[in-house]
Amino acid sequence: MTVRLGTRASTLAMTQSGTVARMLTASSGLEVELVPLTTHGDVATGSLASLGGTGVFATALREALLAGECDLIVHSLKDLPNAAYPGLTLIAVPEREGQRDALCSRGGVTLAELPAGARVGTG
């Protein structure tokens, strides 16, 4: 049996999903096929705020899962909207690969020193 794992098509998402696919294969013996999906957030050119912010990367993944285009999806938990999504359940959170995230700021401002309402970009 082959499990179809839906993921964003970005290099980072494919790498993270490949790790999950290998973990699934090792623990279950099942073959896992990555199904790259393009989301609204991947193709839109506006700022994240102008696109509606929450869910612009996750919606296409969720819809593909509900439509049966894949059997499960992987998405970065930090980018997943907090609200539950009807018909779907968060079933697993793998151990973190590494803690190499970093805050780069002007003037050496630390995370604790950021003012209320500060805008932080990711990339």
Q: Are 39 and 61 in contact (CB under 8 A)?
A: yes
The partner residues of 19 in beta bridges, in order of sequence, read none
Catalytic residue selected from 42, 71, 79, 101: 79
User: By the 8 A CB rule, do 33 and 17 touch?
Assistant: no
The amino acid present at 49, given as its one-letter code, is: A
* Burial degree of 18 (CB within 10 A; 0-12, 13-18, 19+): middle
Cβ–Cβ under 8 Å, residues 73 and 6: yes
**Is 79 designated active site?**
yes
Instruction: Note whether 9 and 73 are within 8 A (CB).
Output: no
Q: Which are the catalytic amino acids?
A: 79
